[in-house]
């Protein structure tokens, strides 16, 4: 196994492009360095000296570096409450201290800790591509397969919303994660992927499957009722 140490984000992206089938970026390494993981046997492009580790306000926007860890995200008071809550869906403190925001989104998991909350928050991703820096809406990124380097996640600083996770235990894979912010609804459903839109009926757009997290009917029920039993930001439940 080879480990590359690029000096700039552009260099990292070019290395990834040249070695598309055989190399992945190394951020926190919680997935890359896992035995039996998707990256086993692959070369690593270490992005840990490229900055992207701050959370900062720029006017009305909050900019979250892709290398910010889930623990840092959960602890930062600048970050909207429901996004901090989503970071804590990763219940292992050891993993939270290593796992990064960029790594979490790039894996495009259907039980992603952050995908639903950041999609509901209408996050915009600043990425480095072989053609330079550009922006992409998070929903388009999560439904795509591009290998660009995520650099910054941008959200409105005063964004409010809620996120709710359903799983057999706090530590097992989530069956459903639902989030709402403003008039954006987002759902991550295990075995089905991510759905989002401006109506709670997005649950009906997914195809549900039986798997270890629960039956198709169970997950469909959760996805449909998560938005019906709305949970406003004051914590009360509306029927």
By CB under 6 A, residue 116 contacts ligand FAD: no
Q: For ligand FAD, give the closer residue by CB, 152 or 181.
A: 152
**DSSP code, position 69:** B
Here the tokens at position 52 are: 């992207």
Query: Between residues 107 and 216, which has the closer beta carbon with respect to ligand FAD?
Result: 107
Nearer to ligand FAD, 110 or 122 (CB): 110
**Per-residue buried b or exposed e for 179-190, using 16+ beta carbons within 10 Å of the residue's own CB:** bbbeebbbbbbb
Structure tokens at 10: 């552009």
**Of the candidates 1, 2, 8, 34, which one interacts with ligand FAD according to CB under 6 A?**
34
* Under rule CB under 6 A, residue 98 binds ligand FAD: yes
Smallest gap from residue 151 Cβ to ligand FAD (A): 7
Q: What is the DSSP string of 5-45?
A: --SSHHHHHHHHHHTTTTEEEESS-TTTTSTTSTTTT-EEE
Closest-approach residue to ligand FAD (CB): 103
The yes or no reply on residue 108 touching ligand FAD (CB under 6 A) is: no
Distance of alpha carbon 129 from alpha carbon 106, whole angstroms? 14
Residue 26 in contact with ligand FAD, rule: CB under 6 A: yes
CA distance 7 to 77: 31
Residue closer to ligand FAD, measured from CB, 52 or 203? 52
Within 100-178, residue ranges assigned H as helices are 101-106, 115-120, 138-143
How near is the Cβ of 199 to ligand FAD at its closest, in Å?
25
Answer yes or no whether residue 153 interacts with ligand FAD by CB under 6 A: no
- Told to check if 166 binds ligand FAD by CB under 6 A, we report no
- The Cα–Cα gap between 73 and 118 comes to 12
- For ligand FAD, the binding residues (CB under 6 A) are 24-32, 34, 39, 47, 66, 95, 98-100, 102-104, 106-107, 109, 111-113, 149-150, 173
């Amino acid at each position: 196994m080879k480990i590359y140490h690029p000096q700039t984000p552009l260099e990292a992206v070019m290395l990834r492009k040249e070695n598309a089938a055989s190399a992945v970026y190394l951020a926190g390494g919680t997935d890359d360095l896992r035995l039996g993981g998707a990256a086993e046997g692959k070369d690593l492009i270490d992005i840990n000296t490229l900055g992207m580790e701050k959370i900062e306000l720029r006017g009305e926007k909050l900019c979250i570096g892709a290398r910010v860890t889930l623990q840092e995200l959960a602890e930062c008071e600048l970050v909207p409450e429901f996004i901090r809550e989503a970071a804590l869906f990763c219940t292992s403190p050891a993993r939270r201290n290593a796992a990064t925001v960029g790594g979490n989104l790039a894996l495009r998991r259907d039980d992603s800790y952050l995908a639903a909350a950041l999609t509901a928050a209408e996050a915009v991703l600043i990425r480095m591509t072989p053609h330079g820096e550009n922006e992409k809406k998070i929903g388009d990124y999560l439904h795509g397969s591009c290998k660009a380097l995520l650099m910054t996640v941008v959200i409105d600083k005063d964004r409010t919303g809620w996120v709710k996770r359903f799983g057999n235990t706090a530590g097992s894979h989530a069956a459903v994660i639902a989030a709402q912010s403003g008039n954006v609804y987002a759902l991550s459903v295990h075995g089905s992927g991510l759905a989002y839109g401006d109506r709670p009926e997005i649950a009906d757009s997914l195809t549900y499957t039986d798997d270890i997290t629960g039956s198709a009917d169970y997950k469909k029920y959760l996805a449909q009722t998560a938005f019906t039993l709305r949970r406003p930001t004051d914590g009360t439940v509306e029927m």
